[in-house]
Structure 1
């Protein structure tokens, strides 16, 4: 089973065949490549900060960091905590080019977002993938955020502007850095492409994982300075506070 990272030339039809669950290999009893039992056991987020989605003990709270210094983005929407098996699925999608796993996660994310829209979340005007530096994208062969946008776009009926955001400085990978170093790492790392018409728009950044929020904050600040009316963040998973 293989799914090409091209929304126009896919070789795997997700709607017209009987699926096998990508987690347990049993026949799926849903329209997606995951069975209802495995889906129920995913690490759903639960209580979280109403702004940055940091996992918290109960619902309806705002974390201390967002109270002390509200971020430039308005809201993070994310279905899962970054825990097994979501962490493994994202890693395999991102670093091993397991596109069917990414497609599955993208479809489940679209269900989460559609439910949020039905519950009153403001729907954005456009989706913007978090950009990779050119060198890193050449090495990996694709931008996972770009693929997620391609899969989300028809499901949510939202346009994508894949090239409005650019990563102009190839900074070191963020995964092993602490929060302060991440912020320094991202100074002047991003830019808007000429002709990017973000003024007055509600935009949604799309990425795979939100950790400290430094990348989302840097991009949201850039977009707000360019006149964006609102910036939200959609991602697959949110990491807990270190030690939790």
Structure 2
């Protein structure tokens, strides 16, 4: 079983030295292992649904799904489309234990969040990673969403609570399911051990990739029913609608 390394450990020392860009192999002009030119060429999400951040042809629109079934979360903050090279970086972090890649993406996400906080986005009181079932956690050895949440909390001085929600059903992987099947798959999958801890709180859910938003919506409804004041979602990447 892999163990998450301490954020100050040797595995992250390379983040503080002179860097070589992970994408072009040239020396970077920042303290992060990605150069300004390659960062600007990442698949940034520009035009998206006002509610769920689904890629749209222009800004200021609401997708049909959100019109029919408004999600329980208030806002989604996500920097990138789930496209090359973000998809490869996330996959290597999530499934191959390449933790420094996740740390890099979390650092870049924190820059997006700082910019939004300076504009008009309300700062949450708590960050809550999307939980893994015990079986999945034992198999993978770590929860990538928890790692992202703790990195964000550290650099942005935000509290993180991994105990707010527990996943009690080890459901089949969501990747192969459509939106309706995902919602059915998540039915009764989560419980709130101590509902009083979320009452009146503004909570931001943390995940790696948002596909249909079913998981975030299920968790947000659970938290709102327990008295949470507001629930947002912060993640690394957003997939396009199937077929796009």
TM-score (norm 2): 0.95
Whole-Å separation in 2 of the counterparts to 1:175 and 1:231:
24
Aligned ranges for residues 49-68 of structure 1 at < 5 Å? 49-68=49-68
Partner of 1:228: 228
What CA distance in whole angstroms lies between the structure 2 residues aligned with 1:148 and 1:117? Answer: 18
Q: 1:150 to 1:196 in 2, by over 3 A?
A: farther
SS in 1 for 2:51: coil
Structure 2: give runs of 5+ residues left out of the alignment: none
Q: Could you tell me which residue of structure 2 aligns to residue 22 of structure 1?
A: 22
Q: 1:86 to 1:139 in 2, by over 3 A?
A: same
CA contact (8 A) 1:54 1:239 kept: yes
What secondary structure does 1:235 align onto? strand
Cα distance in structure 2, aligned partners of 1:12 and 1:233: 26
Match of 2:142 in 1: 142
Task: Work out whether residues 125 and 158 of structure 1, in 8 Å CA contact, stay in contact via their aligned partners in 2.
Answer: yes
CA RMSD of aligned residues (A): 1.5
Measure, in 1, the Cα distance between the counterparts of 2:22 and 2:15: 15
Task: Name the counterpart of 2:173.
Answer: 173
Paired with 2:17 and 2:176, the residues of 1 have a C-alpha distance of: 41
What is the distance in 2 between the residues matched to 1:16 and 1:187? 43
Aligned residues: 242
Q: Measure, in 2, the Cα distance between the counterparts of 1:86 and 1:238.
A: 10
**Residue 77 (str. 1) matches residue 77 (str. 2):** yes
Q: CA deviation at 1:8?
A: 5.1
8 Å contact from structure 1 (residues 164, 196) kept in 2: no
Residues 145 and 207 in structure 2, CA contact (< 8 A), matched pair in contact too:
yes
TM-score by length of 1: 0.95
Q: Which residue of 2 aligns with 1:35?
A: 35
Q: State the distance in 1 between where 2:196 and 2:164 align.
A: 5
Pair 1:36–1:64, CA change in 2 (3 A) = same
CA contact (8 A) 1:205 1:216 kept: yes
Q: Distance in 1 between matches of 2:195 and 2:61?
A: 39
Corresponding residue number in structure 1 for 2:114: 114
1:40-74 residue CA offsets vs partner (Å, 9 max, x unmatched): 11000010011100000111211121122211100
Aligned to 1:211: 211
Cα drift, residue 7 of structure 1:
2.6
The structure in which a higher percent of residues are helix is: 2
Q: 1:168 to 1:80 in 2, by over 3 A?
A: same
SS at structure 2 position matched to 1:6: coil
Shift in Å at residue 99 of structure 1?
A: 0.5
Deviation at 1:16, TM superposition (A): 3.7
Contact 2:5 2:11 in 1 (8 A): no
| Residues in 2 aligned to 1:113 and 1:205: alpha-carbon distance in whole angstroms | 13
C-alpha displacement of 1:11: 4.3
- Is the contact made by 2:133 and 2:170 (CA closer than 8 Å) also made in structure 1? yes
| CA 1:196–1:129: 2 relative to 1, 3 Å | farther
